Chains A and B, each alone.
Chain A
Amino acid sequence: AQSVTQLGSHVSVSEGALVLLRCNYSSSVPPYLFWYVQYPNQGLQLLLKYTSAATLVKGINGFEAEFKKSETSFHLTKPSAHMSDAAEYFCAVRGSGGGADGLTFGKGTHLIIQP
């Protein structure tokens, strides 16, 4: 069964500091992994994705994530936080049904940026 664990429902960092959001997954098939961002009362926007190519994935807005199979992790990082990064972030893993059976999401991490 697919599952995603995001450590920390809330993460607070100072503006300009490193952002690290943690994601661990469990998957019965080779994992495809995603990070999405959600601003208040909006839909989800894709930040980046891992689909079995390069293990270090670069996304939009300066974010990147590294796939580590041995640790079953896909943590999201950004070297320098900006006020506009304040949002909810979701990690997701593909379903095991072969393509169109939905994603399994973590419960989300609310990123707070302190001025």
Chain B
Amino acid sequence: DGGITQSPKYLFRKEGQNVTLSCEQNLNHDAMYWYRQDPGQGLRLIYYSQIVNDFQKGDIAEGYSVSREKKESFPLTVTSAQKNPTAFYLCASSVAGNYEQFFGPGTRLTVL
């Protein structure tokens, strides 16, 4: 079955720690995205990548970092510089040049 997997589903971390969220897709999509979702705020774009070894900042990139070493994988690191990291994080992918995005099940990060 083709799709997007995110792990873990729930993640708890202490304040000041970096944490990495996993996103893997087997849809052979070129483009991948990370969004942050907060209650009543909709989804906001953190980073996106159109091809391997290239990525662009989205609207709220501060305090986050990404890598794209493989087409299938687009991990997101939430650094200690992110002031309010507790949120629901969604990964998505799309065919290059196609606007329709497919979403993973999300990771809920709680910073204690």
A residues with a Cβ closer than 8 A to B are: 4, 9, 32, 34, 36, 41-46, 49, 51, 90, 92, 94-95, 99-108
A108 touches B97 (CB 8 A): no
Q: Tell me, yes or no, whether B106 is within 8 Å of chain A by CB.
A: yes
B103 touches A107 (CB 8 A): no
Pick from B58, B98, B103: contact of A102, CB below 8 A: B58
| Total A-B residue contacts, Cβ distance less than 8 Å | 69
B residues with a Cβ closer than 8 A to A are: 4, 6, 30-31, 33, 35, 40-45, 48, 50, 56, 58, 88, 90, 92, 94, 96-106, 108
Contacts of A51 in B (CB 8 A): 99
B100 touches A108 (CB 8 A): no
Given the known interface contacts A46-B100, A90-B42, A107-B41, the answer about A100 and B48 at a Cβ–Cβ threshold of 8 Å is: yes
A108 touches B33 (CB 8 A): no
Contacts of A104 in B (CB 8 A): 45
Contacts of A34 in B (CB 8 A): 99-100
Determine the distance from Cα of A103 to Cα of B102 in the docked complex, in whole angstroms: 12
Pick from A36, A44, A99, A105: contact of B98, CB below 8 A: A99
Contacts of A101 in B (CB 8 A): 48, 56
Given the known interface contacts A49-B100, A99-B99, A103-B101, the answer about A90 and B94 at a Cβ–Cβ threshold of 8 Å is: no
Given the known interface contacts A44-B90, A51-B99, A99-B97, the answer about A108 and B45 at a Cβ–Cβ threshold of 8 Å is: no
17 residue pairs from A and B, CB less than 8 Å apart: A9-B40, A34-B99, A43-B6, A43-B103, A43-B104, A45-B103, A46-B102, A49-B99, A49-B100, A90-B43, A99-B31, A99-B96, A100-B30, A100-B48, A103-B101, A105-B35, A107-B40
* Closest-CB distance, B84 to chain A (whole angstroms): 17
Given the known interface contacts A100-B31, A100-B50, A100-B94, the answer about A108 and B99 at a Cβ–Cβ threshold of 8 Å is: no
Pick from B40, B98, B108: contact of A108, CB below 8 A: B40
B94 touches A41 (CB 8 A): no
Pick from A32, A42, A90: contact of B99, CB below 8 A: A32
